[in-house]
Amino acid sequence: MSDQALEMHIPRKGATSVLSAVERRLPPPAAGEVRVAIEAVGVAYADIMMRQGVYAGHKPPVTPGYDLVGRVEAIGPEVSDLAIGQRVAGITVFGSYATRRNVARWLVPAPEGVDAGRLVAAVLNGVTAWQMLHRVANPAPGEWVLVHGAGGGVAAAFDHLGGKHFKTVSMPALRPGGVGVFYGAYDVSRGGKVNPLAVADLLLNARFSSLDLFAKGQGVVAYSSEPWRDGRPAAYRSDLSTVLKLVADGVLTPEGGATYPLRAAADAHRALEARSVTGKIVLLND
């Protein structure tokens, strides 16, 4: 078992060229940690926001990598629910653009016999769609769900996990009494650069002022996977396990986009920023 890891690191904010290959020696897993040999990691828009220095709480220097699928290589003290060689998956938020890494508590068993790229495409996107539908929006029978940002992987997951929904209109179509669920900021970057107008629109958009919402009996709630994971760990584990089983059973079929080797992370970022790929972009280790 090796303790050497290669990471695609972001030492400072900037263009895709700042992504740099760095070799590190990992310490033994600490209490509550396991070391994972990473098979696949998803490329998320949050990774781009981290690189550009606009992702709150995780700014350069940082190694991105919001989710992973891999195998347990070593187990630290106080870990009793995972075994060496076991396949696992989890939302890590950062640090998974790597060949291996130490991870604490956010892993669940992952099914065997399913392509790693297909599995990881369902981790962040599938859990986000599942939790927004079943734990945040929680629509009553017969109600419709408006999926905002329908070009992304989360919206695609709704095609398999959701009931009646539509994706060809924007938030102004929200009916009186409806609730909007916000989960992303896909227009923050255009052409590899931060779009200040999009940031201002995201923060100040008058369409969602409290008075306007009050007049229509509407509401807005925000969803982000990290605080839901941290604040409701039992729900996170249950929901991720459910989503992975749906993939293994063929109920959920994540839309694959393109795969790149880990060292080509910059190319993957350029493809995501250019919106040149439909479906989830995934980095693979040999």
More confident residue, 88 or 189: 88
Give the predicted TM-score (pTM) of the model.
Answer: 0.87
Task: Name the band, by pLDDT with cuts 50, 70 and 90, for residue 41.
Answer: very high
**Tens of pLDDT along 131-188?**
988 898 888 887 777 666 555 667 666 665 655 555 555 667 777 877 777 776 555 5
More confident residue, 179 or 5: 5
pLDDT at position 80 over 60: yes
Count Cβ neighbours within 10 Å for each residue of 49-70 and write b for 16 or more, e otherwise: bbbbeebeebbbebbbbbbbbb
pLDDT of residue 137: 82
**Tens of pLDDT along 94-145?**
999 999 999 999 999 999 999 999 999 999 999 998 998 889 888 888 777 7
Task: Name the band, by pLDDT with cuts 50, 70 and 90, for residue 15.
Answer: very high
